[in-house]
Amino acid sequence: MFPSQDVVKLILRDHRIAEDLLRQLRHGGPSERRHALRDFAQLYLAHVRAEEAEVYPALKRYGGIDNGQIRRGLARHDEGTEALLELLEADERSPCAWDARLDELVIAVTDYADETERTLLADARERVTRAGRTRLGAAFARERAQQLRVCSGDVDDVRRMMHG
């Protein structure tokens, strides 16, 4: 389990891990890239599913969190998932195409993380009590852990996320 159960800190931690994995994808060798891509896909899907199952519904219940921000977060999840699927389906033997798809994923994920940190997470920090953030963090961590147990991070998982 995580040392802090504050949902904001847990989400920020995932964002930093995702950034590290994206760096490995950009700069690693073929074997490192394969492992980083699988790890990234698994983390991304678990993170998104946990946010959508636990965090977003709770933030809607806490007054003062803009529903437009939540809708935007959901749309950003879809953009990231689509970019991830395109990268997973790209042919590694075509480095230019693979790198272009990686660039699309990096942009989608880093823009989403930046926007979320400046809006939803900042608002949650201000409007949700520490106890509320801790309860929400525990729910997020449980759902995330469950998703990590069942998600392999393969292309079929991403397709199910897109179409399910």
CB 129 within 8 A of CB 58: no
CB 6 within 8 A of CB 140: no
Number of domain units in the chain: 1
The answer as to whether 152 is a domain residue is: yes
pLDDT in tens, 107-131: 999 999 999 999 999 999 998 999 9
The reported pLDDT for the residue numbered 164 is 66
Q: Enter the tokens of residue 61.
A: 């219940």
CA pair distance 49, 51, nearest whole angstrom: 6
pTM of the model: 0.93
The answer as to whether 1 is a domain residue is: no
CA pair distance 104, 56, nearest whole angstrom: 25
Using the predicted structure, report yes or no on whether residue 1 has a pLDDT greater than 50. Answer: no
pLDDT in tens, 5-33: 999 999 999 999 999 999 999 999 889 99
The reported pLDDT for the residue numbered 94 is 85
85-88: which pairs have CB atoms within 8 A and are 24 or more residues apart?
A: 85/155, 85/158, 85/159, 85/162, 87/37, 88/37, 88/41, 88/154, 88/155, 88/158
CA pair distance 84, 44, nearest whole angstrom: 9
Residue 72's domain spans which residues?
7-163
CA pair distance 65, 125, nearest whole angstrom: 11
Q: Is 119 helix (H, G, I), strand (E, B) or coil?
A: coil
pLDDT in tens, 59-105: 888 766 778 888 999 999 999 999 999 999 998 778 899 999 999 99
Confidence of residue 144 (pLDDT cuts 50, 70, 90): very high
CA pair distance 132, 70, nearest whole angstrom: 18
The answer as to whether 131 is a domain residue is: yes
The reported pLDDT for the residue numbered 16 is 98
Give the rounded distance of the alpha carbon of 30 from its chain centre. 23
The answer as to whether 2 is a domain residue is: no
The reported pLDDT for the residue numbered 17 is 98
The answer as to whether 25 is a domain residue is: yes
The answer as to whether 125 is a domain residue is: yes
The reported pLDDT for the residue numbered 67 is 84
The reported pLDDT for the residue numbered 91 is 80
